[in-house]
A and B are shown apart, each in its own frame.
Chain A
């Protein structure tokens, strides 16, 4: 099953490689991983999307907790949560496609953030599957480049991960 794991960890050189190394050394898979400092600059927050049986997810959480620099681990999938990913996609936008692509961007609540005479660059946020749907809705031949951040997650309501 797919799980979204949130981590708070010391904002120190090497902390990211400890997490990444743990996943590769123990053969766990990473679907996506995002990390950036928090409002408390001594700490970073990481969101890892992974897949595995209940037993494997349990092990992943325990092994992450064992890393000295990891302050807290939460499996967001245990409760209500929100998940967002940002995608930038550059499309060939010429002739008839120009209007069509703008319409598609509107339908998916994307924003055109850069325009040239041949291209549009669209910014889109949402769950991973929404971003996938957008790409599927576009003629493949028009897609010049995509870049995705991977998912960031947060608990709903009073579910708070803070030290």
Chain B
């Protein structure tokens, strides 16, 4: 049967089992919206800005392991989507973004709402396509979903000109996809896995450093088994939180710029480091030369060969899917007659516990001023550590990462790589749609929330009872913190003047708003918010405006060159 390109595009989404498309209509996608209108399988979520469409699809994907889908029009539609696409690219999130394009005969003529979508997105997608004939739509979308999800995941953009979406051709969804130039490695090299096992079992001071790859590969179970088998300490990156249970005694907290003392010291003092689905980025290991200045053997498991030995030279590279490789590594260790050295292990843990006893995350609570850390601790308590928590970017993000103990993967949803302010609320929409019954909290600041505040309207339309936890300190807090530490207290443009009344704002959008100004009211407000199961509640916590995130490894410093709260 002959279908239009638009109908084919929607049929492809149905074939892929797509539940939600996040989008915003416009001239170049009118035929696609028409095709959406005529069916019920794929539900459309109308956002209020295209950036939010992509973030919502992204949040949906991060919380489910499915491919997120966004649909935007040509020109400004796709340029607005770019921040969302770049966000997903940096964190390796599988998305398919469909953008409309001006009709093929208009391309290159600076037509109304024309932009070179493939060119503009090229550096921030895993791959992209311009479809010039409707007969290629089905095979292109099939490839797009396959590319997005396989190997190192990432966003894929498919640009469809308006005339192509109205062209009629025969439809057949290809059952398989074959790309001759693309064969991601699933299984790691057996000899390398054996070498890794040998190093780990003979290690006196082993350390396991696990990142977002563990979450993306759904490898928490084998990771946890491995950590327990080795009796080694485990740290997670910002992207990896929840990949290993945070309340487990072998967990030493997050590492990096705002990591715990024990995690960062463990990284610098171990003799064998196993990096799993992590990429040694600048916020994680600080100064590369300092990091490399101590002798240790490094084993690195990653799906992306280009991530291995990019910043840090490693001894045992293993390219493969993290879950598969960990499974194989466990099998080798189980069959080995050797056991980890118990005496060395006891000495290593004694040292770690000594670092731990420094309690690097302690903060001085107050009866007068609301401490942001206290709000997160209460949020953790009240939600029993089981909520999905999205965040924006800045101090609140670090506090959420430090004080909310994630025991499960895919519960902590934040923009780690790109650091996109405005991510939290739209991401929470995707999470809440994917998990209608779950508690979803968006931890944000008064700066970040205003970057996509319009989405409160989307939340109203789709009845999304998200709890917005705004840590309002009247400053772009992380900027202010750096200005205090490194720019002589000159708070250049980091004070947020003329803030809206967030309670009234929430009410104007049809939601519930609560303002909290006293520490004694924090718990009550949170309880009330979560008791309102069907309402979006926006809590404006007026927090201590001078609070800083500690510990801190300043930019360019080594992991053991840490500033503690009491140092200032």
- Residues of A whose CB lies within 8 Å of any CB of B are 9-10, 13-14, 17-18, 21, 25, 55, 58-59, 62-63, 65-66, 68-71, 163
Contact = CB atoms under 8 A, between A and B. Distances in A.
A108 to B, nearest CB: 40
A70 to B, nearest CB: 6
B304 interface: yes
B488 to A, nearest CB: 32
B181 A71 contact: yes
3 closest A-B pairs by CB? A62-B306, A71-B181, A68-B127
Contact of A17 (B122, B126, B310, B313): B122
21 contacts: A9-B181, A10-B181, A14-B118, A14-B122, A14-B130, A17-B119, A17-B122, A21-B123, A25-B123, A55-B313, A58-B309, A62-B305, A62-B306, A66-B304, A66-B306, A68-B126, A68-B127, A68-B147, A68-B179, A68-B182, A163-B180
Of A10, A25, A62, the most chain B CB neighbours within 10 A belong to A62
A9 B182 CA distance: 11
Given A59-B310, A65-B305, A71 B180 contact: yes
A18 B122 contact: yes
A65 B308 CA distance: 14
Interface of B: 118-119, 122-123, 126-127, 130, 147, 179-182, 304-306, 309-310, 313
B304 A68 contact: no
B309 A55 contact: yes
B123 A68 contact: no
Nearest to B156: A68
Contacts, number: 36
B552 to A, nearest CB: 29
B96 to A, nearest CB: 14
Contacts of A163: 180
A68 to B, nearest CB: 4
B156 to A, nearest CB: 9
Contacts of B181: 9-10, 68-71
Contacts of B310: 59
A122 B309 CA distance: 47
Nearest to B151: A66
Contacts of A13: 130
B505 to A, nearest CB: 39
A24 B123 CA distance: 10
A63 B306 contact: yes
Nearest to A26: B123
A16 B232 CA distance: 47
Contacts of A58: 309
Contacts of A14: 118, 122, 130
A3 B147 CA distance: 30
Contacts of B123: 21, 25
A103 to B, nearest CB: 49
Contacts of B305: 62, 65-66
B409 to A, nearest CB: 25
A18 B128 CA distance: 10
B307 to A, nearest CB: 9
Nearest to B118: A14
Nearest to A24: B123
A8 to B, nearest CB: 8
A21 B182 CA distance: 20
Given A59-B306, A68-B182, A163-B180, 12 more contacts: A10-B181, A14-B118, A14-B122, A21-B122, A25-B123, A58-B309, A65-B306, A66-B305, A68-B126, A68-B181, A69-B181, A70-B181
Contacts of A68: 126-127, 147, 179, 181-182
Of B118, B181, B305, B313, the most chain A CB neighbours within 10 A belong to B181
Contacts of B304: 66
A10 B179 CA distance: 10
A65 B304 CA distance: 10
A26 to B, nearest CB: 10
A63 B119 CA distance: 18
Contacts of A21: 122-123
B122 to A, nearest CB: 6
Contacts of B180: 71, 163
A24 to B, nearest CB: 9
Nearest to B147: A68
A69 B128 CA distance: 11
A7 B313 CA distance: 26
Contacts of B119: 17
Contacts of A55: 309, 313
B34 to A, nearest CB: 29
Nearest to B122: A21
A2 to B, nearest CB: 21
B152 to A, nearest CB: 8
A10 B181 CA distance: 8
B428 to A, nearest CB: 31
Of A9, A13, A14, A68, the most chain B CB neighbours within 10 A belong to A68
Contacts of A17: 119, 122
A10 B306 CA distance: 21
Contacts of A10: 181
Contacts of B147: 68
Nearest to B305: A62
A62 B127 CA distance: 16
Contacts of B313: 55
A15 B304 CA distance: 21
A25 B313 CA distance: 22
Nearest to B304: A66
Contacts of B306: 59, 62-63, 65-66
Nearest to A64: B306
B288 to A, nearest CB: 11
A25 B86 CA distance: 14
B305 to A, nearest CB: 5
A109 to B, nearest CB: 39
Contacts of B122: 14, 17-18, 21
